[in-house]
Amino acid sequence: MNWRLHFRVTVAKHVLCSTSFEGLMGWRYFWICAQQSHHRNSFSSIAHKNMPLISLRPNVSPSNGHVLLQRSPGDNINKMASMSGVRIQGVRHFSLSTAPMLFFGAGKGGDNSGKAKLTLKDVTELIRKKECHRIVVMVGAGLSTPSGIPDFRSPGSGLYSNLQQYNIPYPEAIFELNYFFQNPKPFFMLSKELYPGNYRPNYAHYFLRLLYNKGILLRLYTQNIDGLERVAGIPPDKLVEAHGTFATATCTVCRRSYPGEDFRGDVMAEKIPKCPVCTGIIKPDIVFFGEELPHRFFLHVTDFPMADLLFIIGTSLEVEPFASLAGTVCASVPRVLINRDLVGPFAYQPQHNDVAELGDVVSGVERVVELLGWKAELQDLMKKEKEKVRIFRLKSLAVPHS
């Protein structure tokens, strides 16, 4: 018997069994401090050194164990700042997915020394040779901005920056239940802008549809609530709409469910939809901060370990628990970021098999399509789907008012 190994495993087992959750969170906090110290020593920028450390809260509700939607740590800081007038210089975000590395050395925390850096061409070759055929995709608001929908967080142009017209106390309040019950009108004003049928899928959406057509899309995880993935032809069984959908709605009083289209007329007429049974407010099944995530979100438990390639497109990777999914694929799996900026682990813990195509999202996707040799095929798909989308929009606009 290897007594040294036996001793290590036994000690580790007893430590994990006897340590409280709060204790583990304390060790995680210690590790994050060490990480921040390392990064501060790596850069001389005064602005970088002055960025505060943010303690990340657990994403699990202690009462029932359900996973809840959490605003980014920076949102809480900015919320307090907006209410007090304090100017915050900057915030560095850390993903909860890195915590297991402290205990087990798992995930993406390996040594990269001596390993050749993967390129976008290398990744597309793996797809062409069918060595990658279980592709998981994570997308955010940046996927839909080329369709004309503003994202949430871009300074000056994002939805959060343009919500002053609704006279809300702080931008994120529009997605908070307490504020919604006090004043639901701002949310429904925003819903009128985002409701499915107002916009069309773009080139990047149809790239994801082509992955599905070729049978290599394992699952598409989206933070978006615009429904453009569905309009592009990706079936619901391949979708995980992590932050909810307008496709269905629920009465906030009697909890009856309704098709979202039943209340499209009210939303377009800037009326607050009411339940025909109990007259309670009908809320689209969009996930607000503090609400439970859809049950399909838990498909990630099996999807991400099975994935042999991860695409991350147009997301800031700031909202938990969605953001942490980027760290749950196997360490050997290539991760491709197509985004305006470096975010999440691509920024603070890059690996040899991470590829970042920075800049405009559509340009990045076009680069991937070109390397795959799918350009003509994708153009044909978009041409065929254009008429279907036109008919869908006409039907959506023809729905009579309730």
Active site residues: 243
Binding-site residue ranges for Zn(2+): 251, 254, 275, 278
Binding-site residue ranges: 251, 254, 275, 278
Q: What are phi and psi of 398, to 5 degrees?
A: -90, 0
The structure tokens listed for 391 are: 């008919």
The structure tokens listed for 1 are: 């018997």
- The Cβ of residue 239 has, within 10 Å, a number of other Cβ atoms equal to 20
Q: How far apart are CA 26 and CA 22, in angstroms?
A: 6
